[in-house]
Amino acid sequence: MIRFYNTLTRNKEEFKPIKEGNAGLYTCGPTVYDLAHIGNFRAYIFEDLLHRYLEYGGYKVLRVMNITDVDDKTIAGCEKESVSLKEYTDRYLTAFLEDMEILRLKKPDYLPRATEHIPEMVSLVKKLLDKGYAYEKDGAVYFSIAKFPSYGKMAGIDLSEIKSGARVDVDEYEKEDVRDFALWKEEKESVFWDTELGRGRPGWHIECSAMSMKYLGESFDIHTGGVDNIFPHHENEIAQSEAATGKKFVNYWMHCAHLLVNGEKMSKSKGNFYTLRDILKKGYNPVAVRYLLLSAHYRDPLNFSEKALKQAENTVSNYNAFYQSLDFCKSGIGNKEIKADIEKARKDFTAGLSDDLNISAALAGIFNLIKTVNIAVSEGTLGPEDAGDIKGFLEETDNVLVILDKEERKLSGEQQNLIKEREQARKDKDFKKSDEIRDVFKSQGILLEDTLYGTRWKTVKKGIK
Ligand code: AMP
Ligand code: ZN
């Protein structure tokens, strides 16, 4: 049984999908006006963990992540550079997709762009106008919050307390009620669409309602984002979707806490952010960024520091060293208890993640196993079959964690023979030969190290420009 904390009910609930064995998942994606920062990637990594763990649990996941490629910032950006909106946003979308790949994030099934779904948004707004939930004013269309009595339910907000329009929608249009939010904005800038609603562009919230329902249906299982999305974005999505369809929009709402810097939210506006490229230019391994963001529980705020990043880099490096070393456990006599130890680790891993993605408990299961195995190695009892079983388990859980360097593990037959030759040379105390072979590897960008388990190797760190 998998349980998730549902922001809507403020409870941990058993996950029961609408269609057995399936999970429909919607993730609020990036606004492509600039490079994403690693605070944004904390949200995407939490969602990646959710996606992968559902798959590990046997669910067939259908996942959608929108791309907001029209809003105030993207329009301002393209106008400033005198390029088309598409040219401007394509640049940041490409960078985002590259960053996703570097961080080993699974690609969602659909990455719909807002600008390619204007007809769907127009038809949703029309439906809300027809049903009397929306009204037109000076060329714009607003959602009337007063018509939707449960507004504010998820965010736990008392409507009577919302006095300033600024909290709901920061625009300067005249509205019937300051709390109402824009579904459609009148033509003001160079970017607009000529539609049945007049010339203008969609509001941000309607994008996510239109695109999620197009690909996942009017009701679907899970909707995610960062806690800053709860209000007003997700509250507005619920209001406009449920008003239009008369059905429950989403069953489980999951939100991750922020990535902080010195106790403050990492954000563009505060200027306290790092992009992934900033970090890689400093020479850090991107998998360390993945591990750092992954290894804290998604509902706990996480403070980012280079010290924490260095620690994550060490953990990832040791983890990979352990994994590689399993290939060299050729001599142990065999250890009957290892199978049970792996079973225990697997149980801890799944029990942890099934409990609202409790990653610390899941990782503790794996690290306890590594401790036990290290004892068996030092006692000479770990046999090749045991090592193979452990390797299989690490590869299985790596479908969720994705921190092993599997490709880099592949040495050619020639290189493997050379390692054996060097091991023999060391036994024969022919250190000249052993050093020569080490230098051959070095020239290929591979470092050899002599460990308790035999020779292990790693590629020299590569940074990107
Ligand atoms: P934005 O491009 O600002 O709409 O943000 C994209 C996603 O990143 C949203 O799900 C936000 O909630 C999330 N996000 C933004 N800043 C942070 C942060 N410092 N920590 C975690 N998530 C964040
Ligand atoms: Zn959204």
Ligand 1 pocket, residue 234 CB under 6 Å: no
Give the residue range(s) of CATH 1.10.730.10 domains in the chain: 276-401
Ligand 1 pocket, residue 38 CB under 6 Å: no
What does the pLDDT average to over 32-53?
A: 98
Best residue among 228, 258, 269, 270 to mutate for probing ligand 1's pocket (most ligand atoms within 8 Å of CB) is: 228
pLDDT, one tens digit per residue, over 205-240 is 999 999 999 999 999 999 999 999 999 999 999 999
pLDDT, one tens digit per residue, over 110-122 is 999 999 999 999 9
Question: What is the structure's pLDDT at 447?
Answer: 85
Give the residue range(s) of CATH 3.40.50.620 domains in the chain: 15-256
Ligand closest in space to the Cα of 233 = 2
Ligand closest in space to the Cα of 41 = 1
Strand partners, 181: 143
CATH 1.10.730.10 fits 276-401, yes or no: yes
Question: What is the structure's pLDDT at 135?
Answer: 96
Ligand 1 pocket, residue 203 CB under 6 Å: no
Question: What is the structure's pLDDT at 443?
Answer: 87
Ligand 1 pocket, residue 205 CB under 6 Å: no
pLDDT, one tens digit per residue, over 289-342 is 999 999 999 999 999 999 999 999 999 999 998 998 898 777 777 788 999 999
Q: Which pTM does this prediction carry?
A: 0.88
Architecture of the domain spanning 15-256: 3-Layer(aba) Sandwich (3.40)
